Structure 1
Amino acid sequence: MTHEPSAPPSDPPTDQRTVLLRGGEVHSPADPFATALLVDRGSVAWVGSEGAADVHADGVDEVVDLQGALVAPAFVDAHVHATATGLALTGLDLSGAATLAEALDLVERHARARRGGVVLGHGWDETRWPERRPPTRAELDRATYGGVAYLSRVDVHSCVVTSALVAAAPEVRAADGWDEQGPLTRDAHHVARRVAQGSVGESQRRAAQRATRARAAELGIGAFHELAGPDISSPEDLAGLLALAREEPGPQVLGYWGELGGVERARELSALGAAGDLFADGALGSRTASLRADYADAEHAGHAYLSAAQVRDHVVACTRAGLQAGFHAIGDAALDVVLAGLREAAAEVGLPALRTARHRIEHAEMLDAAAVAALAELGAVASVQPVFDALWGGAEGMYAERLGAERALGLNPYADLAAAGVPLALGSDAPVTPLGPWEAVRAAAFHHVPAQRLSVRSAFTAHTRGGWRAAGRDDAGVLVPGAPATYAVWEAGELVVQAPDDRVAAWSTDPRSGTPGLPDLTPGTPAPRCLRTVVDGRVVHDVEGALT
């Protein structure tokens, strides 16, 4: 049964035309050999073979020659921060800086271009620099000519700022997480972020949100989950994004408001839940994720922001209101708290009601077997970001530096979650990692730990249908008659079936297998190119001249 969302859709009305796509490959469980698709007024009307396409060609408004291209359900990114992503796309992005010196040079050039305006930047990662340290406040003061600057770390759980920003918000010095020279974390970071966000005007915010939606459409993303909250953005930011998505064609936006006890605010904002980045802890890179044992490179175990009782009360309130609850939880100690709170909530509202609500855990990285089993029992959705493992996993990556190799190699157990029946929804956490759905599927299929790899097909399903199911929609994310016509057309090359053990299955190109193929995502191969993205029958991205 479909769990109906409590909010109206954020996108414009569906296209009323009838379109026949033929001469390609259609990824559909309705027909594994399908080469044609009929769309009628925003819904899939028929899926079948080229031989039967002529029967459906009469009276259609448009016939599209796919020229061998792949038609597949559009991706759903289950964790996005649209305004911050757009600001990185259109402004100062430090993720590509190879050294601290290069990052400071980028800051200086941006400050000169801003001519005294506030400098907002994102993406620095000291673990990738030979200097192995973040910029100091003095260095930033020189690079910005004494101006106001806020630069978030790649995980967005710490920041570095200039003296001018501190002077503009002197209360930051009294907040937990203040450091006279180093990065700001916890409450001090939240204070600094609010100052930075206050400098973003309405026109700049809308431009950033448009940039994110346009980039998502270019990548075959038909919808994304906006994870808003009082420590991340603002009610006005979420309301503005949802309004923009109603007014202008583009990927659908599914909004969440992550505020403890925020049921009424979530309803006011037409959010699907008081869920998302409601912080139970921080992040591993900033050493603020809450652990059972100390970090390998620090004499503390991170920071916990919630108690089990707070989790319980929030989950009970959301369940009774018909909304999703959800929590950001990365460390094992934070997950212990969230799972304990969910169990206590189940004792109050009943396990069936709790499972029906599809409450969420964002990131869910540091899971042992007992935690995986608990997630399955409680019906919680794991909203995960496989590119985290690609960037920071393995025996020698940042996770190993923070945790030691043994604990690091236990992170992100995707195969264990899937085997236990835990619903998976894939996302990017943009701007933490860039929007890039095929890279997320690749990262899940080629996890650093071979035993935790998903098949490409399973990862693709988690990044398409899984994202809709995480938002309470069971009718979307699959191309079958009656489903929404939200799809992407890909220049993809030969289609194969890839197993989670590094192999392309021997029967992958044998049509007798009856298994729909997907692009080859072996590391080093280029990602497929998106030729067209369609949301409810409406074209929101099109490469000119690619499809006729």
Structure 2
Amino acid sequence: AGGKVLSSGREDQIKDLAERLGAEIVDLKGKTLLPGFIDSHAHLDEIGLSLRSVDLRGTKSLEELKAKLDAFARNNDSPWILGYGWDQELFAEHRWPMRYDLDAVEKKRPVMLSRVCLHAAVINTPALKELGLDPSSPNVLKGKDGAPSGVIVEEALNIAKDRFRRSLTIEDWKEYLRAGAFHAASRGVSTLGFVSCGARELAALIELGEELPLRVRAYLNPERDVLKALKGLGIRQGFGSDLLKIQGIKILADGSLGARTARLSDPYEDDPEAFGQYNV
């Protein structure tokens, strides 16, 4: 009642309580009823984007990655090609993907494929030019020739994502976030903690309003303009409605192990020069 589970126990006990309260009894015919799931850490924007991206989870080789990218590119006319979920640890070639691998499939449109941890990505040459990244840019990894390998991590990846996201309209974001929210709801999620929520994504959520099929608790990116606006408006934790609340700010102390950016006391075994990095 009122969105809460009031009691649990043996069937005879619950039937007796329901009858005494005059409650409606619904026979589920042996099915299991569970309360809605609460996902406290999810990237709702990434969920929406992933539904319109090439799924690279479980890919076992660079050749398989290129085949999946090629099949997706042939059936997608979007200005950017996005993908997610690859893990170089699973590749038969035992190496990271490089921009030349992607260039062999797509030479005209920008391609950005995020690693499974979302702390690293590989981009092709058109994306490198579109984003204005060069060897001097922070967190742009270089190949043996000193040129960008196509792998970008942490700050460079954030720059790439930000520039791509700024090309999207509020209507674009509403479409992505709506798709992500309905996807989560279809899996039984009734409340979702949306971490790293940007200002434009928040604006889109506010416009969606009652269209949202689940409760969203937003943890905003610590963008300077956002923090200034929150402070100026006197907005505190819990501001909003039952459906959409601003719950806090997400701050990343360091990166991820898979991207070799999680900060360690000792160097990584496969990269003696790398200790990871602090993000704050």
- Over aligned residues, Cα RMSD in angstroms? 2.7
Query: Contact 1:172 / 1:191 at 8 angstroms: preserved in 2?
Result: no
Structure 2 residue aligned with 1:210, among 152, 162, 178?
178
**Residue number in structure 1 paired with 2:256:** 283
The alignment of Structure 1 onto Structure 2 pairs a total of residues equal to 260
Structure 2 residue aligned with 1:32, among 1, 6, 9?
9
**Residue number in structure 1 paired with 2:16:** 51
1:282 is paired with a residue whose SS is coil
Structure 1 residue aligned with 2:192, among 224, 237, 243?
224
Cα displacement (A) at 1:290: 0.6
Structure 2 residue aligned with 1:200, among 145, 154, 168?
168
What TM-score do the two structures reach when normalised by structure 1? 0.44
Query: Contact 1:94 / 1:123 at 8 angstroms: preserved in 2?
Result: yes
> Which AA in structure 2 matches 1:32?
G
Q: Can you list the C-alpha shifts for 1:450-475, whole angstroms capped at 9, x where unaligned?
A: xxxxxxxxxxxxxxxxxxxxxxxxxx
**Residue number in structure 2 paired with 1:360:** none
What is the CA–CA distance in structure 1 between the aligned matches of 2:19 and 2:269, rounded to whole Å? 65
Q: Can you list the C-alpha shifts for 1:516-547, whole angstroms capped at 9, x where unaligned?
A: xxxxxxxxxxxxxxxxxxxxxxxxxxxxxxxx
Cα displacement (A) at 1:225: 0.4
Cα displacement (A) at 1:281: 0.6
Q: How does 1:117-156 map to 2 (within 5 A)?
A: 117-156=79-118
Cα displacement (A) at 1:223: 0.2
2:266 is the alignment partner of 1:293 = yes
> Which AA in structure 2 matches 1:191?
I
**Residue number in structure 2 paired with 1:170:** 132
2:254 is paired with a residue whose SS is coil
**Residue number in structure 1 paired with 2:277:** 303
**Residue number in structure 2 paired with 1:239:** 203
**Residue number in structure 2 paired with 1:103:** 65
Q: How does 1:231-380 map to 2 (within 5 A)?
A: 234-244=198-208, 246-259=209-222, 263-266=227-230, 270=239, 271-274=246-249, 276=250, 278-299=251-272, 300-306=274-280
What is the CA–CA distance in structure 2 between the aligned matches of 1:89 and 1:52, rounded to whole Å? 44
Alpha-carbon spacing, 1:134–1:242, altered in 2? closer, same or farther (3 Å): farther
Alpha-carbon spacing, 1:53–1:115, altered in 2? closer, same or farther (3 Å): closer
2:41 is paired with a residue whose SS is strand
Q: Can you list the C-alpha shifts for 1:110-146, whole angstroms capped at 9, x where unaligned?
A: 2222236210111111111211223221221121133
Query: Contact 1:266 / 1:272 at 8 angstroms: preserved in 2?
Result: no
Query: Contact 1:146 / 1:162 at 8 angstroms: preserved in 2?
Result: no
What is the CA–CA distance in structure 2 between the aligned matches of 1:155 and 1:117, rounded to whole Å? 24
Query: Contact 1:228 / 1:256 at 8 angstroms: preserved in 2?
Result: yes
What is the CA–CA distance in structure 1 between the aligned matches of 2:173 and 2:56, rounded to whole Å? 20
What is the CA–CA distance in structure 1 between the aligned matches of 2:180 and 2:108, rounded to whole Å? 30
Query: Contact 1:263 / 1:273 at 8 angstroms: preserved in 2?
Result: no
Query: Contact 1:150 / 1:160 at 8 angstroms: preserved in 2?
Result: yes
Cα displacement (A) at 1:255: 0.6
Q: Unmatched 5+ residue regions in structure 1?
A: 1-13, 16-25, 37-47, 307-548
Query: Contact 1:97 / 1:124 at 8 angstroms: preserved in 2?
Result: yes
**Residue number in structure 2 paired with 1:429:** none
Query: Contact 2:58 / 2:90 at 8 angstroms: preserved in 1?
Result: no
> Which AA in structure 1 matches 2:15?
E
Query: Contact 1:27 / 1:70 at 8 angstroms: preserved in 2?
Result: no
What is the CA–CA distance in structure 1 between the aligned matches of 2:267 and 2:205, rounded to whole Å? 40
Cα displacement (A) at 1:165: 1.4
What is the CA–CA distance in structure 2 between the aligned matches of 1:124 and 1:69, rounded to whole Å? 37
**Residue number in structure 2 paired with 1:158:** 120
Query: Contact 1:27 / 1:72 at 8 angstroms: preserved in 2?
Result: no
Of structures 1 and 2, the one with the larger relative CO (CA 8 A, separation 6+) is 1
What is the CA–CA distance in structure 1 between the aligned matches of 2:211 and 2:223, rounded to whole Å? 31
Alpha-carbon spacing, 1:171–1:181, altered in 2? closer, same or farther (3 Å): closer
What is the CA–CA distance in structure 2 between the aligned matches of 1:227 and 1:205, rounded to whole Å? 16
Cα displacement (A) at 1:89: 2.2
Q: Can you list the C-alpha shifts for 1:62-87, whole angstroms capped at 9, x where unaligned?
A: 65222233333321101111111111
Alpha-carbon spacing, 1:266–1:157, altered in 2? closer, same or farther (3 Å): farther
Query: Contact 1:118 / 1:199 at 8 angstroms: preserved in 2?
Result: no
Identity of aligned residues (%): 26
